[in-house]
Amino acid sequence: MTDPSIQPRKPLIAVILPAYNEALNVGAVLEVLHSTDMLDDIILVDDGSTDNTLAVLQNAARQDIRVRVIRLEKNRGKGEAVFAGWAETIAPYILLLDADLKNLTSTHLHNLIEPILDHRTDMTLGLFRGGHFSTDLSHRITPFLTGQRGLRADLLRYISREAAAGYGFEVALTVAARQKGYRKQVVPLNDVWHPRSETRTERGLWYGTLWRTRMYGQLIRAWFIATRDRFPNAKAFFSNISKL
Protein backbone atom coordinates (compact mmCIF):
# COMPACT_ATOMS: atom_id res chain seq x y z
CA MET A 1 0.00 0.00 0.00
CA THR A 2 1.35 3.41 -0.97
CA ASP A 3 2.33 5.65 1.92
CA PRO A 4 0.18 8.80 1.55
CA SER A 5 2.92 10.85 3.17
CA ILE A 6 5.26 10.17 0.25
CA GLN A 7 4.68 12.66 -2.52
CA PRO A 8 5.43 11.53 -6.09
CA ARG A 9 8.45 13.24 -7.61
CA LYS A 10 7.75 15.87 -10.21
CA PRO A 11 8.99 14.84 -13.67
CA LEU A 12 12.04 16.75 -14.82
CA ILE A 13 11.38 19.51 -17.35
CA ALA A 14 14.04 21.33 -19.31
CA VAL A 15 13.73 24.32 -21.59
CA ILE A 16 16.19 24.74 -24.44
CA LEU A 17 16.55 28.27 -25.80
CA PRO A 18 18.79 28.75 -28.85
CA ALA A 19 19.79 32.37 -29.45
CA TYR A 20 21.64 33.97 -32.35
CA ASN A 21 22.23 37.73 -32.18
CA GLU A 22 19.25 38.27 -29.87
CA ALA A 23 20.81 40.61 -27.30
CA LEU A 24 18.01 43.14 -27.85
CA ASN A 25 15.17 40.63 -27.48
CA VAL A 26 16.12 37.66 -25.31
CA GLY A 27 15.88 39.47 -21.97
CA ALA A 28 12.07 39.35 -21.88
CA VAL A 29 12.05 35.59 -22.44
CA LEU A 30 14.72 35.07 -19.80
CA GLU A 31 12.61 36.92 -17.24
CA VAL A 32 9.71 34.54 -17.86
CA LEU A 33 11.94 31.47 -17.55
CA HIS A 34 13.42 32.80 -14.30
CA SER A 35 9.94 33.32 -12.83
CA THR A 36 8.62 29.86 -13.79
CA ASP A 37 9.18 27.37 -10.98
CA MET A 38 8.19 24.24 -12.92
CA LEU A 39 11.47 24.26 -14.89
CA ASP A 40 14.38 22.14 -13.65
CA ASP A 41 16.95 22.95 -16.34
CA ILE A 42 17.14 26.20 -18.29
CA ILE A 43 19.63 25.63 -21.10
CA LEU A 44 20.63 28.69 -23.08
CA VAL A 45 22.58 28.08 -26.29
CA ASP A 46 24.44 30.97 -27.86
CA ASP A 47 24.68 29.89 -31.49
CA GLY A 48 27.83 31.81 -32.43
CA SER A 49 26.37 35.28 -31.88
CA THR A 50 28.43 38.30 -32.91
CA ASP A 51 26.56 40.79 -30.73
CA ASN A 52 26.19 40.92 -26.93
CA THR A 53 23.91 37.86 -26.66
CA LEU A 54 26.45 35.72 -24.78
CA ALA A 55 26.88 38.34 -22.06
CA VAL A 56 23.10 38.58 -21.60
CA LEU A 57 22.83 34.81 -21.24
CA GLN A 58 25.74 34.64 -18.82
CA ASN A 59 24.16 37.33 -16.68
CA ALA A 60 20.98 35.21 -16.50
CA ALA A 61 23.06 32.25 -15.33
CA ARG A 62 24.44 34.29 -12.44
CA GLN A 63 20.90 34.97 -11.25
CA ASP A 64 19.46 31.44 -11.46
CA ILE A 65 21.22 28.18 -10.53
CA ARG A 66 19.03 26.27 -12.99
CA VAL A 67 20.57 28.11 -15.94
CA ARG A 68 23.40 26.67 -18.01
CA VAL A 69 24.93 28.53 -20.94
CA ILE A 70 26.42 26.73 -23.92
CA ARG A 71 28.54 28.66 -26.39
CA LEU A 72 28.88 27.43 -29.98
CA GLU A 73 31.88 29.15 -31.53
CA LYS A 74 30.31 29.30 -34.99
CA ASN A 75 26.69 29.75 -36.04
CA ARG A 76 25.54 26.18 -36.69
CA GLY A 77 21.78 26.63 -36.98
CA LYS A 78 18.89 25.92 -34.65
CA GLY A 79 19.03 22.14 -35.01
CA GLU A 80 22.62 21.85 -33.82
CA ALA A 81 21.89 24.34 -31.02
CA VAL A 82 18.96 22.23 -29.80
CA PHE A 83 20.97 19.01 -29.95
CA ALA A 84 23.81 20.67 -28.01
CA GLY A 85 21.32 21.74 -25.35
CA TRP A 86 19.68 18.33 -25.21
CA ALA A 87 23.07 16.73 -24.48
CA GLU A 88 23.21 18.77 -21.27
CA THR A 89 20.03 17.45 -19.65
CA ILE A 90 18.47 14.16 -18.60
CA ALA A 91 14.98 15.65 -18.42
CA PRO A 92 12.39 13.44 -20.17
CA TYR A 93 10.28 16.47 -21.08
CA ILE A 94 11.49 19.41 -23.14
CA LEU A 95 10.24 22.88 -23.96
CA LEU A 96 11.64 24.57 -27.06
CA LEU A 97 11.27 28.32 -27.44
CA ASP A 98 12.43 31.11 -29.72
CA ALA A 99 14.58 33.80 -28.12
CA ASP A 100 12.71 36.81 -29.49
CA LEU A 101 9.19 36.15 -28.20
CA LYS A 102 6.98 39.05 -27.14
CA ASN A 103 4.28 38.84 -24.42
CA LEU A 104 5.30 35.36 -23.31
CA THR A 105 4.12 34.34 -19.82
CA SER A 106 4.58 31.38 -17.51
CA THR A 107 0.98 30.40 -18.28
CA HIS A 108 1.97 29.83 -21.89
CA LEU A 109 4.75 27.49 -20.75
CA HIS A 110 2.36 25.54 -18.53
CA ASN A 111 -0.10 25.22 -21.39
CA LEU A 112 2.62 23.84 -23.67
CA ILE A 113 3.85 21.15 -21.29
CA GLU A 114 0.78 20.07 -19.29
CA PRO A 115 -0.90 18.00 -22.07
CA ILE A 116 2.34 16.00 -22.31
CA LEU A 117 2.71 15.50 -18.57
CA ASP A 118 -0.91 14.33 -18.50
CA HIS A 119 -0.15 11.84 -21.32
CA ARG A 120 -2.78 13.39 -23.57
CA THR A 121 -0.23 13.97 -26.31
CA ASP A 122 3.46 13.52 -27.11
CA MET A 123 4.18 16.93 -28.61
CA THR A 124 2.48 20.32 -28.50
CA LEU A 125 2.70 23.02 -31.15
CA GLY A 126 2.32 26.53 -29.77
CA LEU A 127 0.60 28.77 -32.31
CA PHE A 128 0.42 32.55 -32.07
CA ARG A 129 -3.07 33.97 -31.66
CA GLY A 130 -3.93 37.67 -31.32
CA GLY A 131 -0.40 38.99 -30.94
CA HIS A 132 0.37 40.39 -34.38
CA PHE A 133 -1.47 39.86 -37.65
CA SER A 134 1.54 38.81 -39.73
CA THR A 135 2.81 36.18 -37.32
CA ASP A 136 -0.73 34.93 -36.60
CA LEU A 137 -1.18 34.44 -40.34
CA SER A 138 2.13 32.61 -40.71
CA HIS A 139 1.14 30.14 -37.99
CA ARG A 140 -2.25 29.53 -39.53
CA ILE A 141 -0.69 28.80 -42.92
CA THR A 142 2.33 26.79 -41.73
CA PRO A 143 1.68 25.60 -38.15
CA PHE A 144 4.36 22.92 -38.48
CA LEU A 145 7.05 25.64 -38.56
CA THR A 146 6.40 26.92 -35.06
CA GLY A 147 9.45 27.05 -32.83
CA GLN A 148 7.36 26.88 -29.65
CA ARG A 149 7.01 23.24 -28.68
CA GLY A 150 6.62 20.92 -25.76
CA LEU A 151 7.65 17.31 -26.34
CA ARG A 152 8.84 14.05 -24.94
CA ALA A 153 12.61 14.25 -25.15
CA ASP A 154 12.94 10.80 -26.72
CA LEU A 155 11.48 12.16 -29.96
CA LEU A 156 14.70 14.10 -30.56
CA ARG A 157 16.66 10.90 -31.16
CA TYR A 158 14.61 10.14 -34.28
CA ILE A 159 15.26 13.45 -36.02
CA SER A 160 17.41 13.40 -39.15
CA ARG A 161 20.46 15.52 -38.25
CA GLU A 162 21.01 16.18 -41.95
CA ALA A 163 17.47 17.44 -42.45
CA ALA A 164 17.66 19.54 -39.28
CA ALA A 165 20.67 21.52 -40.53
CA GLY A 166 20.29 25.25 -41.02
CA TYR A 167 16.65 26.25 -40.66
CA GLY A 168 15.29 22.75 -41.16
CA PHE A 169 14.86 21.73 -37.54
CA GLU A 170 11.09 22.27 -37.22
CA VAL A 171 10.44 20.42 -40.48
CA ALA A 172 12.68 17.53 -39.44
CA LEU A 173 10.98 17.37 -36.04
CA THR A 174 7.50 17.37 -37.57
CA VAL A 175 8.41 14.61 -40.03
CA ALA A 176 10.02 12.47 -37.30
CA ALA A 177 6.91 12.79 -35.12
CA ARG A 178 4.68 11.72 -38.00
CA GLN A 179 6.91 8.80 -38.97
CA LYS A 180 7.07 7.49 -35.39
CA GLY A 181 3.40 7.98 -34.67
CA TYR A 182 3.81 10.62 -31.96
CA ARG A 183 0.59 12.40 -31.08
CA LYS A 184 0.44 16.16 -31.66
CA GLN A 185 -1.77 18.84 -30.12
CA VAL A 186 -2.10 22.51 -31.01
CA VAL A 187 -1.88 24.97 -28.10
CA PRO A 188 -2.91 28.60 -28.71
CA LEU A 189 -0.38 31.15 -27.45
CA ASN A 190 -2.67 34.10 -26.97
CA ASP A 191 -1.07 37.55 -27.50
CA VAL A 192 2.38 36.07 -28.22
CA TRP A 193 4.32 37.08 -31.33
CA HIS A 194 7.84 37.72 -32.55
CA PRO A 195 9.32 40.15 -35.08
CA ARG A 196 9.41 38.99 -38.68
CA SER A 197 12.87 38.78 -40.20
CA GLU A 198 12.04 41.33 -42.88
CA THR A 199 11.18 43.96 -40.29
CA ARG A 200 14.05 43.45 -37.85
CA THR A 201 15.66 46.89 -37.73
CA GLU A 202 19.07 45.53 -36.79
CA ARG A 203 19.08 43.36 -39.92
CA GLY A 204 17.57 45.75 -42.41
CA LEU A 205 14.80 45.10 -44.92
CA TRP A 206 17.07 43.84 -47.71
CA TYR A 207 18.97 41.42 -45.50
CA GLY A 208 15.76 40.26 -43.83
CA THR A 209 14.18 39.45 -47.20
CA LEU A 210 17.25 37.50 -48.31
CA TRP A 211 17.30 35.70 -44.96
CA ARG A 212 13.69 34.58 -45.35
CA THR A 213 14.27 33.45 -48.96
CA ARG A 214 17.23 31.36 -47.84
CA MET A 215 15.24 29.99 -44.91
CA TYR A 216 12.39 28.73 -47.09
CA GLY A 217 14.89 27.14 -49.45
CA GLN A 218 16.37 25.22 -46.54
CA LEU A 219 12.91 24.23 -45.30
CA ILE A 220 12.14 22.63 -48.67
CA ARG A 221 15.49 20.88 -48.61
CA ALA A 222 14.84 19.60 -45.07
CA TRP A 223 11.46 18.17 -46.04
CA PHE A 224 12.91 16.23 -48.99
CA ILE A 225 15.80 14.88 -46.93
CA ALA A 226 13.54 13.85 -44.04
CA THR A 227 11.15 12.08 -46.42
CA ARG A 228 13.66 10.79 -48.98
CA ASP A 229 12.51 7.21 -48.54
CA ARG A 230 9.41 8.37 -50.44
CA PHE A 231 11.38 10.58 -52.86
CA PRO A 232 14.76 8.84 -53.36
CA ASN A 233 15.88 11.10 -56.24
CA ALA A 234 15.04 14.40 -54.57
CA LYS A 235 18.19 14.81 -52.49
CA ALA A 236 20.51 15.42 -55.45
CA PHE A 237 18.16 17.99 -56.95
CA PHE A 238 17.98 20.00 -53.72
CA SER A 239 21.56 19.44 -52.51
CA ASN A 240 22.54 23.07 -53.10
CA ILE A 241 19.28 24.82 -52.25
CA SER A 242 20.61 25.95 -48.87
CA LYS A 243 23.19 28.08 -50.72
CA LEU A 244 20.54 30.39 -52.18
pLDDT at position 231 = 47
13-193 sits in which CATH class?
A: alpha beta
Helix (H, G, I), strand (E, B) or coil at 94: strand
Helix (H, G, I), strand (E, B) or coil at 91: coil
Q: Which of 123, 106, 102 is nearest to 185 (CA)?
A: 123
pLDDT at position 39 = 98
Name the pTM for this structure: 0.84
Low-confidence stretches of the chain (pLDDT < 50) are 201, 231-232, 234, 237-238, 240-244
How does pLDDT run across 203-241, given as a tens digit for each residue?
555 555 565 566 667 667 767 788 875 544 545 544 544
Q: How far apart are CA 233 and CA 40, in angstroms?
A: 44
CA pseudo-torsion sign 24, 25, 27, 28: positive
**DSSP letter (8 states) at residue 241:** G
Q: How far apart are CA 112 and CA 151, in angstroms?
A: 9
Domain map (residue ranges) of the chain:
13-193
Q: Which of 62, 32, 222 is nearest to 142 (CA)?
A: 222
Mean pLDDT value across the chain: 85
